[in-house]
Structure 1
C-alpha cells in the first residue's frame, strides 16, 4: 500500500499552523474513516486520568492500531480532528504537541477543539482520522 493523499501547503495563509491547510485524495483510493480513538487500555480502562499528554500518547497508539487493522498508517492520514476536554489553551497545546510529534514530518490538516466533556469517565483526549490508501499490486 502507498498513500493516495497529497497535503497541500497554502503559502497565502499564515505559516504558523503546524499542519497543511488542505489535502487531496487521488483516485483510485480507499478511504479509511476511524472512530474517535480514546485513551483506553485493552481492558477498557481510561489510561492516565488527569494527564493530557499521557492520554494523548495512548490515543495515538490506539489510533495506529485501528489504522493498521484497516491497512493504513499515520502517513496515510489526510485529516484529523483532535478533541480535548478543557477550556484552557495550554491543555490543548500539550495534546497538540503529542499529536504533532506522533505524525513526525507528515502534517495532515487538523482541527483542534476544546470541548466540555468526552464519553468515558476521566477521558480528556480523543482523535479521529481519515486516511487514503492506494493498494499496490
Structure 2
C-alpha cells in the first residue's frame, strides 16, 4: 500500500482551511489516472441543470472509477475540476459537493475555468490521479 502525505507548509497560504493541500507526496505504488468525469449516467439521462448537482454526480462517477481500480477518495493525490465560464460563485457551488465526496481528504486540487466541455449541457468535469 502506498503512503500518502499531505502538506500545507506555513510558508504558503493555508489551503487546509479551504479543504485541499498545497503539496501531496506518495511512496511508490500503483498509480491510477482517471479521465475527466462529468454528470453523465450509464442510462444516458440528461445532466442536472445546476453546477452543484453536476459536481455531485461527476464526483459519484469519479468514485465509481476509483472503486473499479481498487481505490477510494482517500487514494487521490491530485485532482482538477474544469468549470465552464468560471466565476467565484460557480466555483464555490461546485467545490462543496467535491469536498463532501473527498470526505476530509485534502488532495492537491485545482479549479480551472474553461469555455466549454464535451457537450453544451455540461458545466463541470473532474479528473484525478490516485495511488494505492
Q: TM-score, normalised by structure 2?
A: 0.91
Paired residues of 2:76 and 2:128 also in contact (CA < 8 A): yes
Paired residues of 1:82 and 1:127 also in contact (CA < 8 A): yes
Q: Note the alpha carbon deviations across 1:11-66, whole angstroms, 9 max, x for none.
A: 11111543110111102x000000001100112333202x0001000001000000
Q: TM-score, normalised by structure 1?
A: 0.88
Superposed, 1:10-89 pairs within 5 Å as 10-16=9-15, 17-27=18-28, 29-49=29-49, 51-89=50-88
Shift in alpha-carbon separation, 1:53–1:125, aligned structure 2, 3 A: same
Q: Note the alpha carbon deviations across 1:48-86, whole angstroms, 9 max, x for none.
A: 02x000100000100000000011110100000011112
Give 1:119 shift.
Answer: 0.5
The number of aligned residues is 130
SS of the equivalent of 2:79 reads strand
The structure richer in helix per residue is: 2
Match for residue 129 of structure 2? Answer: 130
Structure 1 stretches of at least 4 aligned residues deviating more than 6 Å after TM superposition: none
Unpaired segments ≥5 residues, structure 1:
none
SS of the equivalent of 2:92 reads helix
CA RMSD of aligned residues (A): 1.4
Match for residue 92 of structure 2? Answer: 93
